Chain A
Amino acid sequence: MLKILKYSFFDLMRSRWSYVYFAFYLLLGVVLLFLNNDLSKAVITLMNIIIVLVPLIGTIFGVMYYYNSKEFTELLLAQPLKRSSIFLGQYLGVAISLSMSLILGLGIPFIAYGLFKSNAIWDFSLLLVTGTFLTLIFTALAFNIALNNENKIKGFGYAILLWLFLAIIYDGLFLMSLVLFEDYPLDKLSLIGSMLNPIDLSRTLILLKLDISALLGYTGAVFKKFFGTNFGFIISFIILTIWVIFPVLRIVLKSKKKDF
C-alpha cells in the first residue's frame, strides 16, 4: 500500500494541478494578509473560503484522479496486489497531496507574517485541521462516487451534486426546518443538524472559536456549552473522523466486490 501511495503521491506532486492548487492558496494567503493587515480578520475570511472551496476541490480532484488513472489501476489490478491497498494507496496519495498543498500554501505566508508571535495561532491551526479533515472526507466521498459510476459524466455530475448538497442545499433544508418548527424548542435540533454535515460542523467549530459566539444569543449559549467544552470538541472531531472512516471503509468493501 505504501508503495502505491508513494507512486500516486509523487505522480500528483509532479502534476500541474497540485502546483496550481498550492499557488492558489499561497496567493490567497499573501493577498489576504496584505489587504487586511490583521491576522484574526484574515482567519475569518479564510474560513469562508476554506469551507466552500476545500470540499469542492477535494470532490472534483478525487473524481478526476480516479478516472484519469483508471488504466494504471487496471494494470495494478493484474498484479498480485491486495485490492484494498491499491485503492487506499491511491486515495491517500490524492488526499495527502491536496492537504499538503493546503497546509503549505496557507502556512507559508502566515508564518512569514509572524503567526507564531500572534495569538491567532490556535484559530489558524484549527482552520488547517478542519481543512485537512474536509479534504480527507470529500476525496473519500469522491472515490466512492467514481467507483460506483463507470460513466465519467455521471460521476462528475454526482460529485458536483454531492458538493452542492452538503455545501448549499443542506443549509437550505436546515434553515427551512428551523423556520418551520420555530414554535418548538430548537436548540437540540440545530445542534444535531449542524453536527451531521461535515461542512456545517467545521464552520460552527471555527465560528465558535472566533468568538462570534456572543452573536448567537441563547442558541449560542447552548452551542458554546457544547462545543466550547473539551467534551464537545472531542465529539466534533470524533464525528469528523467517522466521516472519514465510513467512506474509506466503503472504498475498501466496494473495491473488493467490484468487477473491473
Chain B
Amino acid sequence: MKKLLFFLTAILMAYHTYTQNIEVCGTCSVPTLKKAISIAKDFDTILVKKGTYKEHDILVNKPLTIIGKNYPVIDGEQKGEIITVTSDNVTIDGLFIINVGTSYTEDYAAIRVRKSKNFVIQNLVLEKLFFGIYLEKSRDGKVFHNKIIGDAIEEYNSGNGIQLWYSKNIEIEHNFIQHVRDGIYLEFSDDCLIKNNVSANNLRYGLHFMFSNNDIYQDNIFEKNGAGVAVMFSKKIKMLNNIFKENWGTASYGMLLKEINDAEIMGNTFEENTIGINIEGSNRIVYKNNNFINNGWAVKVRGACYTNSFIENNFLYNSFDISYNSKINDNVFNKNYWTSYTGYDLDKDGIGDVPYRPVKLFSYIVNRTPETIILLRSLFIDIIDFSEKVSPVFTPDNLLDKNPLIKRITW
C-alpha cells in the first residue's frame, strides 16, 4: 500500500512537472490559446480542440508543443500577426490559421519564428494571409506538410508563403504553396534543404534565393508562377530533379540565375516556359541531364557567364535552343541531344559526325532588336539561319557541341 501510494504521488508529480496537457476549447476552463500559453510550463503540450478562436498576437515564449485536433481555426481577423515563436524547441502542429493582417511597415505573418532553434512547424493550413511562415534568425528547424493558399493579386501588397531571413539549416518539405507573392523566399539563409514542395500560381517566383549559400532544392514542382525560380547572388546551390512547368508569359522564365557561382543543376525538367533558364553573370555551373522541352528559349545567356558546362542534356522542340548576345564564348557544350540537329552518324557510335551549332543567327538578331521576333517562322529567317549554320559570321564560332547525340538520352 505504501509502495503504491508512493508510486502514485511520483506519477502525479511527474505529470505536474513536465508532461502536463492543457486542453483548449470554447467551453473549457481555458478558452483561448493565449491563456493556455500563459498558464503552461516549459515542455507542456497544448491541445487545441476543434472550434474557432479569434486571436492574434499570440506569443509562444516557452518551449511548448501546440497541437490542433481536427484543424481548429485561429482567426486573426486581419488585425495583425497571429503566432510569434520566440522560444527554442517549439512544435506547432495541425492548425488552420486565417486572416493575417496586412501592414506595409511590419511584415505580419501567420507564424513568425524569431531567434529560436529546433522548432517544428507542420500540418498547418494557412489562408487569407499576408506572410505565411516567417523564420527570422532561427536555425535547425523543420517546416513540413503545410498548405499555404494565398489570394495575392498584386506584388506590392502581398507577402511570401514561407520566408527565411538569416536562418540556417532549415528543412522545408512537402509543402503546398500557391497564390502568394513568392512561394518560398530565402534571404541570407544557408544550408537549407527544400524538398518535394509544390509551388504554383504565385505572382512572382515559386522559389527565390537571395544571398543564400550551400542550399539544396530537389524534387520540387514549380508551375505557372510569374517566373519559376529565381536564384540570385548565391553560391554552391544544388538544384536537383525539379520540374519547372508552364511559366509562360512575356517576362516569364523557368529559372533565373543571376550572379550564381559553383552551382549544380541536374536532372531537372523545363517544360513549356517562355525562357527555360535565363543566365546572367553566373560562373562554373554544371548543367547535366536536364530536359528542356517545348520552351520558347531553352537557355538564354545574357552575358558575363564563364566556364559553365552543359553536358548530356536533352533539348527537345524549343523555338530557340541557346541564345547568346556576344561573340565570346567560354562555356562548354558536350554530348547533348538536340532535336533540331540535322547531322548524320556514319560510324554508328551514337554521336553525330558533324558538330551542332545551337545558336541560330535569328536568335542573335532577336537579342539585338527584339522587335524582329515578329519574323519568327518566316522563310527568309530559315534561309539566313541556314547560311549562318554553314559559315558562322555573327554567332560565336567556337560555340558548338562537338559530340551531339543521335538519340535522346535516358538516365
- Which positions in A face B, CB cutoff 8 Å? 47-48, 51-52, 167-169, 171-172, 174-175, 178-179, 182, 186-187, 189-190, 193-194, 200, 203-204, 207, 211-212, 214-221, 223
Q: Is the CB of B370 within 8 A of A212?
A: no
Q: Is the CB of B365 within 8 A of A215?
A: no
Q: Is the CB of A219 within 8 A of B371?
A: yes
Flag whether B16 is at the interface (Cβ < 8 A): no
Q: Is the CB of A175 within 8 A of B372?
A: yes
Binds A, one of B151-159, B226-234, B373-381: B373-381
Report the separation of the CA atoms of residues A207 and B169 in the bound assembly, to the nearest whole angstrom. 48
Q: Inside 8 A of B4's CB, which chain A residues have their CB?
A: none
Q: Inside 8 A of A220's CB, which chain B residues have their CB?
A: 250, 373
Report the separation of the CA atoms of residues A193 and B368 in the bound assembly, to the nearest whole angstrom. 19
Q: Which of A174, A193, A203, A215 contacts B296 (CB 8 A)?
A: A215
Q: Is the CB of B274 within 8 A of A219?
A: no
Flag whether B249 is at the interface (Cβ < 8 A): yes
Report the separation of the CA atoms of residues A168 and B368 in the bound assembly, to the nearest whole angstrom. 21
Q: Is the CB of A52 within 8 A of B379?
A: yes
Q: Which of A51, A211, A217 has the most CB of B within 10 A?
A: A217
Give, as a whole number of angstroms, the nearest-CB distance from B100 to chain A: 33
Q: Inside 8 A of A214's CB, which chain B residues have their CB?
A: 248-250, 252, 274, 296
- Interface size, B (range): 20 to 34
Flag whether B21 is at the interface (Cβ < 8 A): no
Flag whether B403 is at the interface (Cβ < 8 A): no
Q: Which of A171, A186, A189, A200 has the most CB of B within 10 A?
A: A171
Considering only CB atoms, which chain A residue lies closest to B273 in the complex?
A214
Considering only CB atoms, which chain B residue lies closest to A222 in the complex?
B371
Report the separation of the CA atoms of residues A186 and B383 in the bound assembly, to the nearest whole angstrom. 24
- Which positions in B face A, CB cutoff 8 Å? 248-252, 274, 296-297, 319, 365, 368-381, 383
Q: Is the CB of B374 within 8 A of A219?
A: yes
Q: Inside 8 A of B251's CB, which chain A residues have their CB?
A: 217
26 contacts between A and B (CB under 8 A): A51-B379, A168-B379, A169-B380, A171-B381, A174-B375, A175-B365, A175-B372, A175-B375, A178-B372, A179-B368, A182-B369, A186-B371, A190-B371, A200-B374, A200-B378, A211-B248, A212-B319, A212-B376, A214-B249, A214-B274, A215-B274, A216-B373, A216-B376, A217-B250, A218-B250, A219-B370
Q: Inside 8 A of A194's CB, which chain B residues have their CB?
A: 374
Give, as a whole number of angstroms, the nearest-CB distance from B374 to chain A: 5
Q: Inside 8 A of B252's CB, which chain A residues have their CB?
A: 214
Given the interface contacts A178-B371, A182-B368, A220-B250, does A215 sit within 8 Å of B376 by beta carbon? yes
Q: Is the CB of B368 within 8 A of A171?
A: no
Q: Inside 8 A of A203's CB, which chain B residues have their CB?
A: 377-378
Q: Inside 8 A of B369's CB, which chain A residues have their CB?
A: 178-179, 182, 186
Q: Is the CB of B370 within 8 A of A218?
A: yes
Q: Inside 8 A of B319's CB, which chain A residues have their CB?
A: 212, 215
Give, as a whole number of angstroms, the nearest-CB distance from B363 to chain A: 11
Q: Which of B368, B371, B372, B377 has the most CB of A within 10 A?
A: B371
Report the separation of the CA atoms of residues A35 and B379 in the bound assembly, to the nearest whole angstrom. 22
Q: Is the CB of A172 within 8 A of B250?
A: no
Q: Is the CB of B365 within 8 A of A212?
A: no
Q: A171-B380, A186-B371, A220-B250 are in contact. List 12 more A-B contacts (CB 8 A).
A: A48-B377, A52-B379, A167-B380, A175-B372, A182-B368, A182-B371, A193-B374, A200-B378, A215-B376, A216-B250, A216-B373, A216-B376
Q: Inside 8 A of B368's CB, which chain A residues have their CB?
A: 179, 182
Give, as a whole number of angstroms, the nearest-CB distance from A172 to chain B: 5
Q: Is the CB of B380 within 8 A of A168?
A: yes
Q: What 5 pairs across the A-B complex have the smallest Cβ distances?
A: A171-B380, A215-B296, A186-B371, A182-B369, A171-B378
Give, as a whole number of angstroms, the nearest-CB distance from B218 to chain A: 28
